[in-house]
Amino acid sequence: MLNLTGKNALVTGIANNRSIAWGIAQQLHKAGANLGITYLPDERGKMEKKVAELVEPLNPSLFVPCDVQNDEQIQSTFETIRSKWGKLDILIHCMAFANKDDLSGDFSQTSRAGFNTALQISTYSLVQLSGVAKALMTEGGSILTLSYLGSVRAIPNYNIMGVAKAGLEASVRYLAAELGPQNIRVNAISAGPIRTLASSAVGGILDMIHHVEQVAPLRRTVTQLEVGNTAAFLCSDLSSGITGQVLYVDAGYEIMGM
Ligand code: NAD
Ligand code: 0WE
């Protein structure tokens, strides 16, 4: 049985009720995990209020700002975990960002700055958070990140994010190799396209979703809660023999030849 009682889980990447991280947080809560939630702060504190209201029903015992471009916020996030929880069991990395200009047009025109932004926020952040989290995962643990098929296929307009996700998936393997001896497992879910804040800002996303509905074996897209269920599995003892993997939660789309 899937049981996460007694497990402390830090969930990053909730922006609103469409976020994949929100689907994951709900399923981890359902499985009995004790939740900590981070949010990306803005100047007006609007995000803090919005996310706090959303997650309230899940009774998070920890709610902290964490912009991964801010080293101090990362340090203080894990300092809070150390003092309030003592140990960490589960880390959900569910964030990505590239400049909007870099998600259309010619990939070869990606600027150095745009390349750096995408890889810092979308790729390096997993390495950095894992590096801090490992010291708190004293009884073993599970680290999970979110990827997309654009890491291994040239998907129109995904551009620099495809490179960032390729780096993310490689980072999963190197982290799994390093942390395995401490019984810390590291995996990725490669999710099919879902309408979220990030994906809705992308031109042509509805056409992509329509295409998946025609071609995927299950003839539909996946939901945030389905990704959440697989996340709960990958964070539980049910998956104790799985590490370093990228698991597709995409209604089967990845296997198809068109
Ligand atoms: P989303 O917009 O709800 O989530 C993206 C999150 O990234 C937001 O919560 C945002 O606050 C956070 N973020 C951005 N910059 C940050 C920073 N500097 N510090 C901390 N957090 C920051 O969109 P989503 O679709 O739920 O995306 C979550 C993850 O799922 C991403 O890694 C994305 O690549 C991946 N993914 C999405 C889809 C899809 O179709 N929606 C498919 C496969 C994978
Ligand atoms: O990883 C993603 C979303 C990544 C993303 C989206 C945005 C839009 C708004 C990163 N940064 C930004 N920056 C913004 O300013 N997905 C898997 C969803 C997605 O994004 C695409 C897709 C799909 C699917 C972009 C192009 C083509 C397909």
Given this model, what pLDDT does residue 1 score? 86
Is pLDDT at 36 greater than 90 in this prediction?
yes
pLDDT single digits (tens) 64-90: 999 999 999 999 999 999 999 999 999
Ligand 2 atom 28: the closest Cα is on which residue? 158
Is pLDDT at 203 greater than 90 in this prediction?
no
- Beta carbon of 146 within 6 Å of any ligand 1 atom: yes
Separation of 149 CA from ligand 2 center, angstroms?
12
- Beta carbon of 97 within 6 Å of any ligand 1 atom: yes
pTM over 0.85: yes
Mean pLDDT over residues 196-224, rounded? Answer: 95
Specify the CATH architecture of the domain 8-250. Answer: 3-Layer(aba) Sandwich (3.40)
Mean pLDDT over residues 51-76, rounded? Answer: 98
Which residues, including other chains, have CB under 8 Å from residue 158's CB and lie 6 or more apart?
103, 148, 150
Mean pLDDT over residues 11-30, rounded? Answer: 98
pLDDT single digits (tens) 139-180: 999 999 999 999 999 999 999 999 999 999 999 999 999 999
- Beta carbon of 198 within 6 Å of any ligand 2 atom: yes
Given this model, what pLDDT does residue 12 score? 98
Ligand 1 atom 35: the closest Cα is on which residue? 146
Higher pLDDT, 157 or 1: 157
- Beta carbon of 158 within 6 Å of any ligand 2 atom: yes
Separation of 59 CA from ligand 1 center, angstroms?
22
Given this model, what pLDDT does residue 258 score? 74
Given this model, what pLDDT does residue 32 score? 98
Give the ligand with the smallest distance to the CA of 48.
1
Given this model, what pLDDT does residue 142 score? 99
**Cα distance between residue 96 and residue 250, in whole Å:** 18
Residue 174 bears catalytic tag: no
pLDDT mean across residues, the chain: 97
Cβ(51)–Cβ(258) below 8 Å: no
- Beta carbon of 202 within 6 Å of any ligand 2 atom: yes
Given this model, what pLDDT does residue 121 score? 98
Separation of 16 CA from ligand 2 center, angstroms?
16
Separation of 127 CA from ligand 2 center, angstroms?
21
Is pLDDT at 230 greater than 90 in this prediction?
yes
So where are the chain's domains?
A: 8-250
Residues above pLDDT 70, as percent of the chain? 100
CA-to-CA dists, residue 171 to 60, 69, 76, 177, 244, angstroms: 29, 18, 24, 10, 9
Residue 248 bears catalytic tag: no
- Beta carbon of 206 within 6 Å of any ligand 1 atom: no
**Exactly one of 39, 124, 148, 253 is catalytic; which is it?**
148
* Atom number, ligand 1, closest to the C-alpha of residue 147: 44
Which residues, including other chains, have CB under 8 Å from residue 167's CB and lie 6 or more apart?
119, 123
Separation of 97 CA from ligand 2 center, angstroms?
8
Residue with structure tokens 């780096």? 167
Cβ(244)–Cβ(172) below 8 Å: yes
Q: 111-125, 148-162, 191-205: lowest mean pLDDT where?
A: 191-205
